[in-house]
Amino acid sequence: MAEELETFLSAERAARVTPTVVALRSKAAEVVEAELGRLTMRLPELEGRARDEVEQTVRRVVDKLLHEPTVRVKRLATSPAGDHYAEALRELFDLDPKKPEAVRRVDL
């Protein structure tokens, strides 16, 4: 019974960081879109396959940079003091997981 309770509590703590992770990925997606927009303004002649490759490369880089921190914060959140890790992410990246745009699912 105690083991089941701990499993439940760990899962509940992990779920609490989901809005922070979504907010982080949402903010990253906004930055990617803004920078790709700037690139279009600076290099309007960049089109077709070259533009697609640049876009995919930027998205892959951001996804790879965010992967480990998001996996780790979810894992660390399962500990009793795990909410501190999500709190640190919110502070470091100036995140507001309650903003409407932060609660949508974002796939980079």
Which tokens go with 6?
């701990």
User: What confidence score (pLDDT) does residue 101 get?
Assistant: 54
Per residue in 5-21, pLDDT (tens digit) is 777 777 777 788 889 99
DSSP string for residues in 47-64 = -HHHHHHHHHHHHHHHHH
From residue 94, alpha-carbon distances to 10, 35, 58, 59, 91 in Å are 26, 19, 22, 21, 5
All residue ranges of the chain with pLDDT < 70 are: 100-108
Task: Please give the model's pTM, rounded to 2 decimal places.
Answer: 0.78
